[in-house]
Each structure stands twice: as C-alpha cells, then as structure tokens.
Amino acid sequence: MPDEPKTLDPTARPATTTVPGAATAPPGAAVAGDSPARARAQRWTLGLVTVGLVLAALNLRPAITSLGALLEEVSADLHMSGTVAGVLTSVPPLCFAVFGITAPRLARRFGPAAVVCAGMAAIFAGLVLRPLAGGTIGFLAASALALMGIAVSNVLMPVIVKRYFPDRIGSMTGLYSMALALGTSVAAAATVPMTAALGGDWRIGLGVWAAVAALAVLPWLPLVRDRDRATPDSGTTAGSATSAATSATGTTAAATAAPRITRSRTAWALGCYFGLQATGAYITMGWMPQIFRDSGVPASTAGVLLAVTMVMGVPLAFVIPRLATRMKNQGPIVVALGLCGLAGYTGLFLAPAGGAWVWAVLLGVSNCSFPLALTMIGMRSRTGAGVVRLSAFAQSVGYLISIPGPLLVGVLYQHSGGWGLPIALMGGLMVPQMIVGTLAGRDRTVEDES
C-alpha cells in the first residue's frame, strides 16, 4: 500500500472503493503534492465545515428548551390540558424518529451538506411560523417543521464529522456537542427574562430564536454543491484504496459499506441506549422547569435551573467524547453517568426545592450520555457508509423509544396530582439505560456482527 493516500479531484467521483482499515484522507484535507492554492481551498473548506457544525449545533435544541421554559404560558394561551402538553413534549422525539430515518436517502441524493443546509432553513421557517399560530394544531405543525430540520441534521452530524475529520472524531464530536449544550442552556436560561424584557408575550420570546437559526444557514450555502465526492452509501471517503489492497482482502468495500444494521446486536443496544437517554433528556427539557415551579421555585429561577442542567454539557461534552475515544470499552462512562442520573432523580423526588441546584447539576452530568452516544456511533463502524446507516438506525430507533416518555409523564402528573410517580419513572429508566449502554460500549463494529 502507498505511504500516502491519494486525494481525489473535488469534482471527480471515486474510481474505486475503500477497504476498511485502508488509509484515507477526509474531503478537504491537504496532502503532499497539493498546490498552495489547492491547500488553501482545502483548509478553507474544513474551516467552513467547522463553523457550520458549531452554528448548526447551537440551533439543534433552542426550539425545544425555549418552549419548555414557557410551556405554562403557551398551554394556558392555547388552552392545552396536561395530556395535550405531554403530547407537545413528545413531538420532538416523534419528529426525530420519523424524519431522521429519511436522512441517509436525502444525503445520497443531494449530499449531506445540502441536507444540513435545508435542515437549518427548516428550523428557521418553523421558528418564524410558530409564534404566528392561532391554535394548537398550527403550533404543532410549525414546531414539526423546525423539528424536521433538527431531525435530519441530528443524523448527519456524526456523518459529516466522520467524513471530514476521520482522525479527530472525538474532538470534533466534542466541539459540536459542546455547542449543542451551549445553545440548549442559553435558550433555557434566557427565554423567560428575554420574554419579560420584550413585553411578556410568549410569541415574541419564542420567535427571537429564528434569528439565530438564520445565521446557521449561511456557512452551509457554499457547501451545498459539495456532494462529498463520496455518497454515504458508497463506503468511501476522500481517498481510495489500491487494487492490491482490495485483492489482498478478497472482498470489496461494497460488502461492508452497507451492513445489515438490523442483524447487529451492537446497533440494537446503541439504539436502545440512545432512546433511553433521549427519554430522560426530553422529559427534563419539557418538564423540569414545571417540576421546580410546582415545588415553589419562581419561574425565572426554574428556567435558570434548566439552564444549569444543560450547561453542564458545555465542558463535559468536549471532555467525554475525547475520553471515550481513548477507551476500548465505554461501559464505565455509561455507568458513571447513569449513577449521576439516579442520584439526581432521587434528590428531585425527596426534596425538589431544597437541593434544586445540586439535582440540576447531577442531571446535567447524566444528560452527557447524548454526546457519548454520538461518539459511540462514530466508533462502532469502520466506514462512512456504516456510520450513516448506524446513525440513522440508532437515532430513529432511539427516538421511537423515547416518544412515550414525555407523554406518559404528562398523563401521570395529571392523574396522580403530583410529581412523585413521574420522577420515580425517570429514575427507574436509568437502570436499563446503564445495561444497554454497557453493551453498546463494547469494542466491536456493526460490520463484525452483520
């Protein structure tokens, strides 16, 4: 095999496929022999992708956490019952499951960058239209539009990292996970005081986040025509393996580029882990401010407490993926995060207001299961094709699993008249989450099992 992988012309399609384990270069990566102009263009592309990842991640949760902070006002104005409000908090995982599964097909046809660009535009449109809704149906439809954009972008973030930064999966996953946590926490903390400063109308308080979404569209526009020189199902990255390497293995990359994900125990474990952590995350984002408000905490403080939970992901979302990529088995991290969640829910059950800040911190640490799950998606497949399929499978299965959680919490709250049963449910789900997460963290790939 040559010492240096070949870099394809940006407009060319790959002539051969990549054998798992063969050295490849990410799209836009400079290699020996590039002209100075080409090297500058490649560095510019990687810089643009980095900025795009950060801005996209900043917009993947404000549509949800800004609503959680104002859920009481929205429910009252739109005449929602507790059950209907529970349905509203279940819309995010439902949209992520339904629309997320379409991401691989869209990426094959238009390219991942173009799909993410369209996703950011959908988020912007949904956030503009949502405050204009005159009833629950219109509000749900506008929210679904924004969530559709979030769904496809969620799935393609690990794909873009794997393709453009294959040697920096941990650090780049950490970077955009940190940005995601920052956007989540800022929206949670700032929405209530910002709404008050703008006159107290929840429609304005929710609508201002459309401006942030508009910014996220811009860096992806120059990348729209970049079809990644390798479609997600081609099993290639920017480089190509030699025919000698192909003949040495006796197999083609196509045999492993499209693994049968449904036959992989690791894929199912990862999907279940993703689903259980998503259940806890969306229950937290949708209901935690209300739990604190019902225990006597002021609305503004309840929003800040949610922000504290979310902001824990800013430093930890950068540290945990880097740590995970240095470990062959991520099970110990799964268990540590799960125990923090158990402790947080126990405290929330026993003394929600008395130890509110401590419980918020513990639950924030537990919520860092999300960047860990994303990191494991990138580690559990050897090829770009495997990553896009595993990402779509794990996230779609996961979000399907998570749909009943927020709705069930709303029903239990309405019929029991308190938060005891819902919090007990949240804490109980941490046990199976640790079990399936440990299974997903084993050192193996979906290609080995499928």
pLDDT band at 82 (very low <50, low <70, confident <90, very high): low
Q: Is the pLDDT of residue 235 over 70?
A: no
Please state, as a whole number, how many other Cβ atoms lie within 10 Å of the Cβ of residue 293: 17
The pLDDT of residue 259: 58
Tokens of 193: 């005081």
pLDDT by residue (tens digit) across 41-59?
788 888 899 999 999 999 9
Measured CA to CA, the distance from residue 384 to residue 403 in angstroms comes to: 28
CB-based burial label for 38 (10 Å; 0-12, 13-18, 19+):
middle
pLDDT band at 322 (very low <50, low <70, confident <90, very high): confident
- Is 37 or 235 the better-scoring residue by pLDDT? 37
- Contact indicator for 380, 266 with CB cutoff of 8 Å: yes
Span 220-237, average pLDDT: 59
25-30: which pairs have CB atoms within 8 A and are 24 or more residues apart? Answer: 25/237, 25/238, 25/239, 26/163, 26/164, 26/165, 26/166, 26/167, 26/237, 26/238, 27/163, 27/164, 27/226, 27/228, 27/229, 27/230, 27/237, 27/238, 28/164, 28/238, 29/164, 29/238
User: For the chain, how many helices (H) and strands (E)?
Assistant: 23, 0
**pTM of structure:** 0.68
Tokens of 262: 């449904």
The pLDDT of residue 323: 92
- Contact indicator for 104, 233 with CB cutoff of 8 Å: yes
What phi-psi label fits residue 85: left (phi over 0), alpha (psi between -120 and 50 degrees) or beta?
A: alpha
Q: Minimum mean pLDDT among 18-22, 149-153, 316-320: which range?
A: 18-22
